[in-house]
Amino acid sequence: MRLICISNHYMRAIYELFVENMSGEQKTAEQKVSRRRFIGYIAAAAVVAGAAAAGATYYLARPPTPTATAPPAGYVKKWPTPKLDLKKDIPYVCAAFIGLANPWDELNRIGAEWYCKDVLGWNLEIVWPEADVKRENDGVEMAIKKGVDGIVACPLDSLANAKIGEMAMNADIPLVEFGIDMYHSWPLAMYQRDDYDSGKFCALFAVDELVRMYGKAEGKALHIHGYRGSMSDFLRSGGWIDVISQYPDIQNIEVANSWVATAEYPKIKAAMAANPDLRVAYEEMGGFHECVVTGARELGWPEKKIQDLICVNCDLFPVNIIGYEEGTQDYCHMMPTGPDMLTECFEQLREFWKKGAPDCIPPIGEPFTFEKYLPEMQWDAEVDGFKPLQFLKDPVWGIAGSKTTNKQYGYCPVKPAPCGGPETSWVVIPDRIITREDYKELCIYWNWPIWGLKAWK
């Protein structure tokens, strides 16, 4: 069935999140940006509607928080056909990345190659588009023509890269997502952290620090966006703004529109120059912290002023560890990387080829356990004598819903995906919350030897 579902509920949720929650007293630039973003999503909806009219199956299903919208009456989910016999067939899998030259994406690629090729012995086709939406679509299209049996993908643009879902559906190839969701009904499942919560908890920490340092939650906050066509930015921004907008004396100054730190540095530095009284920097990507610190030093800010700037981040790169060491980084939500997400994606494909769908899919609302849904995880797989997958079952850092004692997430059942809604099961991987007290935890370092970082002794 061909369909498009862009509900009034969805659009109203976007408006409330990014405009209505702004204080009536704040008729400032950031409010105008929020309105422009809302208009942008209306425009995106029009693009999706046009695609639907042309026969595409893009599916906008839910607002960013937290209740899924039911699919239209009569809608029937399509499932791929399992075509492999794992007793005799060696899977050939395409892994499509954003293709950024930063630690997060590099670790995703390294983790995929390690687990898919070295551990499982499967054949792997890498799509590395260097953060180009069209090149990601074209790369997956070429992989499909080469005859891949399954696809694991992190779409750069949640809307434009929904074409990956359409191509996979037309070719009857199973698709599993990691990192970012797409507006399509075809993906079987997504393995990813909750970006909305990441932004929210960064904001709560920043508010607490403002009160501790200044006696009141007030002052200017520099909000450094990632790529705004990504659902990750949409959610990270939403979680942040939902909290910050409750404090009328905090002015949220929004800059940037990509995940490329070098491209956004001039904008970040210019915003800092125009606002020398900044108190907070909200960095949606790890590398943005280097932009903030470098910009401050080039502007001649005293070192104590740089250290007093409250810097919170939705990621954790080596540069953020340097920030902790020198006293410029305060709080990070460490994004899951390769073995924290990619391993589950490949195992999800394995279960699909064994059982078919929907039997292989963790149902929405149910607790996720590896024993039930991914029973063949290779727990003893090693990297240089170390077993990285141990952290997936760790009582603090493990998958949410697997009896984790993670203080932020607690028990978290399988959710509807942010874009795919009830059509795609979202297994939530808790962030590793890193502060100045615990930035030396072993779980952070095991997969960073290529940057010269080792576990602290």
Q: Give how far Cα 271 sits from Cα of 7, 22, 37, 132, 265, Å.
A: 36, 21, 19, 26, 10
Residue 97 has, within 13 A of its CA and on its CB side, a CA count of: 25
pLDDT at 317: 85
Q: What are the residue ranges spanned by the domains of the chain?
A: 8-53, 92-193+338-429, 195-334
When pLDDT is cut at 50, 70 and 90, the band that residue 102 belongs to is: confident
Give the relative orientation of helices 288-298 and 318-326 as an angle to the nearest 10 degrees.
50
pLDDT at residue 26, rounded to an integer: 29
Q: How confident is the model at residue 313 (pLDDT cuts 50, 70, 90)?
A: very high
109-147 pLDDT, tens per residue? 988 999 999 999 999 999 999 999 999 999 999 999 999
Q: Tell me the CA distances in angstroms from 444 to 193, 317, 320, 345, 377, one per residue in order.
A: 16, 10, 12, 21, 21
Per-residue model confidence as pLDDT tens digits over 37-91: 333 333 344 444 344 333 333 333 333 433 445 566 677 788 999 999 999 999 9
**Is-same-fold flag (92-193+338-429; 195-334)?**
yes
Q: Looking at beta carbons, which pairs linking 263-271 to residues 24 or more positions away fall under 8 Å?
A: 264/224, 264/288, 264/291, 265/291, 265/294, 265/295, 268/222, 268/224, 268/292, 268/295, 269/294, 269/295, 269/298, 269/299, 271/222
- 47-56, 299-308, 392-401, 403-412: which has the minimum mean pLDDT? 47-56
226: Cβ contacts below 8 Å, ≥ 6 apart:
232, 233, 236, 256, 258, 259, 284, 285
Q: Give the tens place of pLDDT for each residue, 169-195.
A: 999 999 999 999 999 999 999 999 889
Nearest to 438 by CA among 344, 336, 329: 329
| Most confident of the ranges 65-69, 246-250, 417-421 | 246-250
Task: Supply the CATH classification number for the domain 92-193+338-429.
Answer: 3.40.50.2300
Residue 445's pLDDT is 56
Assign domain 195-334 to a CATH class.
Answer: alpha beta
Q: Residue 43: its pLDDT value, please?
A: 39
Single-letter residue type at 92: Y
Report pLDDT for 405.
41
